[in-house]
Structure 1
C-alpha cells in the first residue's frame, strides 16, 4: 500500500514532469515562426502608381496575407492620399482582397528635427493609422535634411521625441516603431552609434523596431547579436537580400571600413538568391510579430514574378 511519503513523492515527480512539459511547450511557442508573409508595398510603387487596385489584387493572388503601406511624401500630410484613395477607401480595397495591414511607414521629418518639433503631421498620421486599422506607425528614416550628418545629439533629440510620440500614439491604440537603414550603425561617439542611442534612450513599451535585414548586414552587423542584446525590441523584419556577386566584390572592403557611405553602393535581389543567411536569422524569431518582403529595386521586367520568387522562398524554406 502506498504511504503518504511515497504518494507525495509520486505527485512531486508528476508535477515536475508536467512543469517541464509546459516549459518545453512554452519555449517552442516562443520560437514559433510567423505563419503569415507580408509585403512592403514600396516594392511595387511603380505598379501602384499605374493601377493601385489591380496591383493590390495581384499581391493577394501571389499569396501574401498582409501589406505594409508607405506615404507618398508631398510635404503636406493632409494631401498625401494613397494613390488617389482616402484611408477608408484603401482599407476597403485591402478587405476586398482578404488582406490586412498591420503597419505603415509615415513621415515625421519636422517632428524629429531639432529646433522644429512640430507635431501636426504626427497627429494626422496617427489618425490615418487608426483609420486603416493598423497597429504600427513606423518611421522609416531620420529627418531628411540630416540623414548623412546626424550627430549623437540629433539622435538623443529623436529618442526624446519618440518617447513623447509613443505616449500620444498609445492614446489612440497605436504603437510607434522605427525602421533602420545603415546610417544608424555609424560610430558617432567612440563605439556608440545612433541606433545605440535610440535603443538605450527610448522606453521599450513606447518604441518598437523594425529591423531591415539587408541594411543591417550591409552595415557589417549581425542581426542575431542585436536580437540577443536587445530582447523584445525587434518585433518586425524587412526580409530582403543582397546580390551575391555584388557582395563578393564589394562587401569585404566595406566590412573593413565598418560601413558604406552612399546608397548607391547596393544591389538588391530576390530573397533566397543572395548572400544573406536567412536560415540562421530565422532561427531567432522569439520576439517576431510580422515579416515583410521588400526589394528597393527590382531588375526583372516582371516585377510580380520577382516578388513571387521572394514569397515562395520564405514560404517553402523559412516559415
Structure 2
C-alpha cells in the first residue's frame, strides 16, 4: 500500500468510525425519538376546531407525548390527548402567576400546582416574558427571584419548573450582559431551562454549546428548524412566518443537539413550529426526519 492510498484509507476509516459512533450514540439514547413529544401551540388553530380529532392525528403520526399550553385552562387538550393514548408530562402555563404574582406567596401558582399534581404533570414551564418584564437586567433579576420561589414550591409538589427561551433573552443589555446570563447566574438549583433551539440560534447562540454549558440544568428541548437566510442574531420575535421550518428543512443540525441533550440529562424533546402553512404536513415531516437520523 502506497502512502497516498494509506492516507485515503485511514481518513475513510476515521470518518466511518466517527459517523458510527454518532449514530450509536443516538441509537443508545433512543428515548427522545421513541417518546417524541410535540408542543401543541403548533396546532392551536386545528385544536380550536377539533381537539379530539387533531390529537388522534398527532398520535397516528408517531408522536407519543404532548406538551399543552395555557395551563390550567387546557382541558380539551388534556382530555383529547388521553383519549388518543398520548402521554402528558409537561405543560406551559399562565406565566403571570409566577412572573407578575399578586403577592409574594404566589397564590395563583399554588393553585396551578394543585391542578398539575392532580393530573400527574411532572414539568411546568414559564413560556414567555412580555416587554415590561424584560427591559432591563433588573427586570430579569426580579423574574429570577420569583421563579426560584416558585421552583421551590413546585419541588415540594414533585414538579420541575423550567423557563422556555425566545431570542430576546440573548440581547446585550447594560455592559453587554444578557438577560439569559442573569438566569444562568441566578436561577437556583431547583430551577431549570427548557431550551428552544430555534430561538437560541436566532439569537446568535450555538444551541449545542448552550446545552453543554447548562449540563444538568436543562429539563427539556423544543426542536424546530430555522430557514436559511434569516438574519442572526435577531432579538425580535417578529420573524417572517416562513422562518419556521420543519426539522431537516433549515440550517440547524439536529443530530448533534440530540446527542448533546442525552449527555446533558435532558428528559423530553418536543417538536414545535410556531408558524406553518400546513401544520399537519410539517409535523409529519419533522417526525420522519428524526426517524431517519
TM range (shorter): 0.7 to 0.9
Partner of 1:187: 172
Partner of 1:97: 84
Q: Is the 8 A contact 1:108 1:121 kept in 2?
A: no
1:146 aligns with 2:132: yes
Q: Is the 8 A contact 2:98 2:147 kept in 1?
A: no
What's the offset of the Cα at 1:116? 5.9
Return the TM-score normalized by structure 2.
Answer: 0.82
Aligned residues: 265
The 3 A distance-change label for structure 1 pair 192 and 116 is farther
Q: State how far apart, in whole Å, the 1-side matches of 2:102 and 2:57 are.
A: 44
SS in 2 for 1:190: helix
Partner of 2:9: none
The 3 A distance-change label for structure 1 pair 114 and 169 is closer
Once the two structures are superposed, what CA deviation does each residue of 1:131-187 show, in whole Å capped at 9, x if it has no partner? 221110100112x3525x521111111111111111111121111111000111111
Partner of 2:250: 274
Q: State how far apart, in whole Å, the 2-side matches of 1:203 and 1:197 are.
A: 11
| Structural mapping, 1:78-157, within 5 Å | 80-83=73-76, 90-91=78-79, 93-109=80-96, 111-113=98-100, 119-142=106-129, 144-146=130-132, 149-157=134-142
Unaligned runs of 5+ in 1: 1-27
What's the offset of the Cα at 1:189? 2.6
Partner of 1:241: 225
What's the offset of the Cα at 1:209? 0.7
What is the RMSD computed on CA atoms of the aligned residues? 2.5
| Structural mapping, 1:169-248, within 5 Å | 169-204=154-189, 206-244=190-228, 248=229
Once the two structures are superposed, what CA deviation does each residue of 1:202-230 show, in whole Å capped at 9, x if it has no partner? 112x1111100000000010112112222
Once the two structures are superposed, what CA deviation does each residue of 1:36-55 show, in whole Å capped at 9, x if it has no partner? 11010111011110111111
Unaligned runs of 5+ in 2: 1-24
The 3 A distance-change label for structure 1 pair 97 and 115 is closer
The 3 A distance-change label for structure 1 pair 242 and 112 is same
